[in-house]
Amino acid sequence: MFNSSLLTAMKSAAQKLNTPFRREVGVILVISIIAFWFAQHYDFFEELVEVSRDYEHYELDELFILLKIAGIGLIVIIYRHSLYLKQEIMRREEAETKILKMAFYDSLTGLANRNLCHDRLEHILAHSERQQTQSAVLFIDLDNFKEINDNQGHTYGDEVLKQVSTRMNGILRSEDTLSRFAGDEFVILLDSVKSITDISILAKRLLAQAALPYTINGKDMTISLSIGIALFPTDSTDPDELINQADTAMYHAKSEGKNTYRFFSKALDEEAKRTILIRSHLRKALEKKEFSLVYQPIIDSKNKQLKGAEALIRWNNPILGEVSPVVFIPIAEETGLIAEIGRWVLDKACQQNKQWQLSGYQPIVMSVNMSARQLQNDTVVQDVEYYLQTHKLAPKYLELELTETTVMQDIDSAIKRLKQLKQLGITLALDDFGTGYSSMSYLRKLKPNRLKIDRSFIKNTPDNVEDTITTEAIIALANNLKLKITAEGVETAEQLKFIEATLCDSVQGFYFSKPLTPHDFFEYLASTQAALINSDSTPIKPVGNNLTTGQQEA
C-alpha cells in the first residue's frame, strides 16, 4: 500500500520533472536521499564505523565515509551531466541542420531554394570563366498551374509540383542544379555546356518528361512546361541578369503557345516588352470596339457549294496596329479576358449568321473557335444557349471548334461540358487535328461531330509522302468513327484534287477564299448563292485567292 502510493508519487514527480534540467536536479536529489537513508539505517555503515573505530580515527573515518558517499554522488552527477551535454549538442546540431535546410532548401520538394540557386550560380559562373566554358540558366514555369490550384486545391497542386520536380531531377546530370525558385517556377543551372544543341535536347527531354500523364489522388491529368534559356557569357555575365533574361525568354515561350522553350536574345527582349504593351491595351480593346470578325468560307468538297463559315477574330489597335490572334489570344487567356472576348465573338457570330439567313441566303453553319479557358467557364453552356435564343438562331447552324489541347487539360469536366453543349443541338469540331496528343480513347470519349485536319498536313500534300499518308490515315480514322472531316489550308488546285479523291467532305482555305469582312462576305454570298438558287449546282469560283494577305486563320 505504502509502496504503491510512493511509486505513484514518484511517477508523477518524474513526469513533472520531465525537462532536461529539472530531470538532472531530480536525479541528484533522489541519489542524495537514498545515500542519506542508507547511511542512517543500514548496518553496513555501522560496520564501517566499527572498522574505523578499530583504527581509532573515529572523526576522520566518519568524514571519510561521507566523502566516499559524496564521491559516488559526484561521479554519478558528472556521468549524468556528460550524457546531458551530449544530448544537448545533438539537439543543437539537429536544429542547425534544420535552420540550414530552411535557409537553402525548399521544404516541399527538397530542392535547392532561391538562395542556394543564386549561390550556386555565382559558383558556376566563376568556374565557367576560369575554364572558358559556356553555362546556361533555364527558367521553367508550369503552364496553367493556377487553374490546377484553383480547380483541384492546393494539396493537389503541391503534389503536382513534387511529381514534376522528381521527373525533371531524373534527367539532369549530378552536377546540374535544379531549384524551386518560387511557386511553380523552377530554375536549372547547367555548368560547362558543350553546345546550344545539347541545351535544346535537354529542354525537349524536360518538355517530353513533364508532358507524360500523371495520376494524382486517382485522377489522371497532364501538364506542360514553358522554358526560357539564357547563356553565359553570350547573353550576360551577371547572375541576376541571366536569371531575368531566362525569365523573359520563358514568357516568350508562353506567348508562343506554351509547352515549348525559347532562347533569350535582344529580339526576344524587345518582343517581351511588346507583350506587356499588348496586355495593357487588350484590357480596353472590347470597350473601345477594336475587335472585328472576319469569315472564311467552308466549301463542300463534292459539289463546291458553300456549307459554312469560320468566324475569326481580328484586333486593330491605333498604337499597336494589327495584332495577330496567335499573339493576343494567349494573353487574353492568361489574364482571364478571354471569357468576355469569347462571349463577344459568340454574340457577333450568331447575330451575323442570322442576318445572312434573314437576307434570304441559304442557311449555313457558323463555326466559332473556343479556347480552353472558355470551356472551363461554368457559364459556357448558358452563354451559348443565351446567344442562340437572343438571335433566334437554330442550334444546328452553330458549330464550336475546340483544339485537342483545349479539351486535354481537364478531360473529365471537358467531356461533361461538351455533352451539355451537344444537348443544345449544336455541333462540335476538333480543330487543328493531328498537332496535339489526342489518343483514340479520348477521341471516343469526346465524340466530336467533325475533325478539322490541320493545315500543316495539307500544306505538303500531295508532294510529301509522309504528310500525304498521315492525312489519308486521319481521314480513314475519322470515317471509321463516322465523323465528318474538313481539310484546312487548301491553297492549290493539286491539294484540292488530292482532297477530292478522299472521303473528306469539306475544305477551307485560300484556294476558295481568304477570310472576308462582313461586307465582302455579303458580296460573296450574293455572287455565289444567288447563282446557286437560280441554277442548281453552279460551282463556286475561287475568289480572293490572294496568298500574300498574311495570316489565314487563327
Residues that bind Mg ion (CB under 5 A): 369, 401, 431
DSSP 542: P
What is the nearest approach in angstroms of Mg ion to the Cβ of residue 214?
29
CB 462 within 8 A of CB 498: yes
Q: Where are the beta strands (DSSP E) in 56-184?
A: 134-142, 177-182
Select 239 or 308, whichever has its Cβ closest to Mg ion.
Answer: 308
Three-state SS string over 520-534 comes to: HHHHHHHHHHHHHHH
Q: Which residues contact 62 (CB under 8 A, 6 or more apart)?
A: 49, 52
Strand partners, 180: 186
CB of 429 to Mg ion, least distance (A): 8
CA distances to 65, 66, 290, 400 from 61, in Å: 6, 9, 110, 108
Q: Which residue, 275 or 352, has its beta carbon nearer to Mg ion?
A: 352
Using DSSP's 3-state secondary structure scheme, residue 431 falls into: strand
CB of 345 to Mg ion, least distance (A): 12
Q: Which residue, 281 or 307, has its beta carbon nearer to Mg ion?
A: 307
**CA pair distance 13, 101, nearest whole angstrom:** 38
Neighbours of 327 (CB within 10 A): 18
Nearest to 456 by CA among 489, 486, 491: 489
**Closest distance to Mg ion from the beta carbon of 340 (Å):** 20
Helix (H, G, I), strand (E, B) or coil at 336: coil
**Contact predicate 147/246, CB 8 Å:** no
Choice between 7 and 326, CB closer to Mg ion: 326
Q: 165 pairs with which residues across the strands?
A: none
Nearer to Mg ion, 184 or 431 (CB): 431
Q: Decide: residue 50, CB within 10 A, 0-12 exposed, 13-18 middle, 19+ buried.
A: exposed
Element (H, E) at 369: strand 365-370
Residue 431 C-beta: closest distance to Mg ion, Å: 4
Q: Do the Cβ atoms of 339 and 346 come closer than 8 Å?
A: no
Q: Which is nearer to Mg ion, 141 or 454 (CB)?
A: 454
Q: How many residues does the chain have?
A: 554
Provide the minimum distance between the beta carbon of 501 and Mg ion in the complex, in angstroms, as a whole number.
Answer: 24
| Residues 480, 472: Cα–Cα separation, whole Å | 12
Residue (157 or 489) nearer to Mg ion, CB: 489
CB of 547 vs Mg ion, minimal distance in Å: 19
- Look at residues 404, 394, 451, 399 and name the one whose alpha carbon lies nearest to residue 421: 399
Residue with smaller CB distance to Mg ion, 410 or 431: 431
Our CB check for Mg ion shows the closer of 486 and 502 to be 486
> Shortest Cβ distance from residue 369 to Mg ion (Å)?
5
Decide whether 196 or 554 has the Cβ nearer to Mg ion: 554
Nearer to Mg ion, 186 or 457 (CB): 457
Q: How far is the CB of 152 from Mg ion (least distance, A)?
A: 29
Closest distance of CB 488 from Mg ion, Å: 7
The residue whose grid cell reads 458580296 is 523
- Over its C-alpha atoms, the chain yields an Rg (Å, rounded) of 38
Cβ-contact 209, 125 below 8 angstroms: no
Angle in degrees, 0-180, between the axes of helices 239-255 and 114-131, rounded to the nearest 10:
110
CB of 365 to Mg ion, least distance (A): 13
